Amino acid sequence: MSEPIEIRTERISFTSEGIDLVGALRFPAADRPVPAVVLTGPFTGVKEQVTGGYADRLAQAGFGTLAFDHRGFGESGGRRGHEDSQGKLTDLRAAVGLLAARDEVDPARLGVVGICLGGGYAVRAAAVDARLRAVVGIAGAYNSPDWFARQMGIGGYRSALGAFLDRYDEYLPAVAPDGGEAAMGGTEPYAYYGTARSASPFWENRVTRGSLHSLMTFDALGAASLLGATPLLVVHGRVDDYCRPELATRLYEQATGVKEIVWLDTARHIDLYDIEPYVSRAAEVSADFLHRNLDTVQRP
């Protein structure tokens, strides 16, 4: 195993549509501009949790990294605990612009890495932002309204959307113990967010019910065919009850450009949040893929 390299961390503030966002930049010691990635993570997640862990590992692999709090979450401004899909994509564009303007970064070698819900945002961002030259999804949620409607039946799907709209501004817990009502129901989300595993002073256990409407109407899978010029890596667990392996397969199959898929023998979705050897393996294959596809970028 190679020795850890020196990493410089910098707290950063920037704006997106006038909303103040807060992030952490990490730069490896280097004598020339480095490739860099912006990270986007799980539903309700903040920069001290999953994205921060992957940002550390990718910085050790030679990348500049930016993990930040999207609008409404963590230290950033905006409506608290509200999942704003289009707003998050706007935040990603602002984050890419921030990285591109840094002297430490080679603006021709930028990528995006998304974990869990961020996987879908990463794909959608990469599909429409030509500055992003590679995209990685790890345990990604490649949401598809069409898929949801087929699984639930169109009547059930529309009924669920209607219920979220009726109580759009109300809050509910993000996670809850013992089967309690929560946006992320079940024991697995609570095992991460409800315990010291996810400790952050900036994480809040609440989201709007309108957030669930955003999740069920956000189309990440539909962007697959737009990645023809953007290399794609999908890293996914073979067992995942929250971000379905079926949708990861569909994303890979529908992408038309350079693409790779790596399956890991996880037992749970959250294994790829902070459990070894899964996180290190995901970071290793991601770093290798990003180096191969960003280091060979032809500059204009």
pLDDT digits (tens, 9 = 90+) for 51-95: 999 999 999 999 999 999 999 999 999 999 999 999 999 999 999
Contact 47, 67 (CB under 8 A): yes
Looking at residue 2, its pLDDT comes to 65
Work out the pLDDT band at 156, boundaries 50, 70, 90: very high
How many Cβ atoms are within 10 Å of 66's Cβ, its own excluded? 27
Taking alpha carbons only, the member of 82, 68, 62, 75 closest to residue 39 is 68
Number of C-beta neighbours around residue 10 at 10 A: 12
Predicted TM-score (pTM) of this structure: 0.97
Both structure tokens of 188: 């697995």
